[in-house]
A and B are shown apart, each in its own frame.
Chain A
Amino acid sequence: QQQVKQSPQSLIVQKGGISIINCAYENTAFDYFPWYQQFPGKGPALLIAIRPDVSEKKEGRFTISFNKSAKQFSLHIMDSQPGDSATYFCAASWGGGATNKLIFGTGTLLAVQP
């Protein structure tokens, strides 16, 4: 119940294409869903986050879609660029993000080919 399932494990996209990463959860107590981006040798960095009172949030080329009834959320990267090549982690927590205890997905290694 504490797991967050993430797919795919790896993804190759052409420059300019759309990258889509999916996550699913079971614990209905989760109420905060962030996405983190990690480059090799660096720590993860927050990309975008959503709370379940909205179905979509967009920041630049990054969009989170959230389906509360299906307990699924996804990250869409529009116009993918080689600089977006990184590992992406979805995560979930409860308490509206007030806690630092995040349950992370297993990660998606994204490669954007020029």
Chain B
Amino acid sequence: KAGVTQTPRYLIKTRGQQVTLSCSPISGHRSVSWYQQTPGQGLQFLFEYFSETQRNKGNFPGRFSGRQFSNSRSEMNVSTLELGDSALYLCASSLAGGPRTGELFFGEGSRLTVL
């Protein structure tokens, strides 16, 4: 069974640009969430989607947005990039409900560098 796939794996942008990151969850997983990982702030929750609806949102500015498609694939977008947005962006999928409720399966992340 294929794991969570994130693209692109690495990207470099300049301040003011925008970026779109993509995530394909494990087949059958309907819940997708996004996390930002930085050395200073650790792992921070961005948002969670289930059946194309945002179910939870973290404390990030409105420049961070996301969406989920009918096939459960998800994208997140960051507009007007700032230097502080440089981070590893992790996507995680999960089964909503069932005996393994709560287990997140993470992808390997998209490493964004903002110059």
A44 with B106: CB separation less than 8 A: yes
Which of B13-21, B42-50, B62-70, B78-86 is near enough to bind chain A?
B42-50
Q: A49-B103, A97-B102, A103-B45 are in contact. Are A44 and B90 (CB under 8 A)?
A: yes
Would A101 and B106 count as touching, CB distance under 8 A?
A: no
Judge whether B56 and A43 touch: CB under 8 Å: no
Q: Which residues of A contact B105 (CB under 8 A)?
A: 45-46
Which of B42, B45, B48 is in CB contact (< 8 Å) with A107?
B42
Given contacts A43-B108, A49-B103, contact A99 B55 (CB under 8 A): yes
Main SS of chain B's interface residues? strand
Of chain B, the residue at the smallest CB distance from A46 is: B103
CA A98 to CA B42, docked complex, whole Å: 22
* Size bracket, chain A contacts: 20 to 34
Complex interface bits, A94-107 against B, C-beta within 8 A gives 1, otherwise 0: 00111111111111
A100 and B94 contact, CB distance less than 8 A:
yes
CB-nearest residue of chain B to A49: B102
With an 8 Å Cβ cutoff, the count of chain B residues facing the other chain is 26
A99 touches B48 (CB 8 A): yes
Identify A41's interface contact among B42, B104, B108, CB under 8 A.
B108
The residues of B that contact A96 with a CB separation of less than 8 Å are 101-102
Contacts of A93 in B (CB 8 A): 102
User: In the docked arrangement, what's the CA distance between A93 and B94, Å?
Assistant: 15
A99, B106: Cβ atoms under 8 Å? no
Whether B45 pairs with A101 at a CB distance below 8 angstroms is yes
Partner of B43, one of A32, A42, A44, A45: A44
Q: Does B8 contact A (CB under 8 A)?
A: no
User: In the assembled complex, which residues on chain A have CB atoms less than 8 Å from the CB atom of B90?
Assistant: 43-44
A-B contact pairs, 6 of them (CB 8 A): A43-B108, A44-B104, A46-B105, A49-B103, A97-B101, A100-B104
Interface residues of B (CB under 8 A from A): 4, 31-33, 42-45, 48, 55-56, 58, 90, 92, 94, 96-97, 101-109
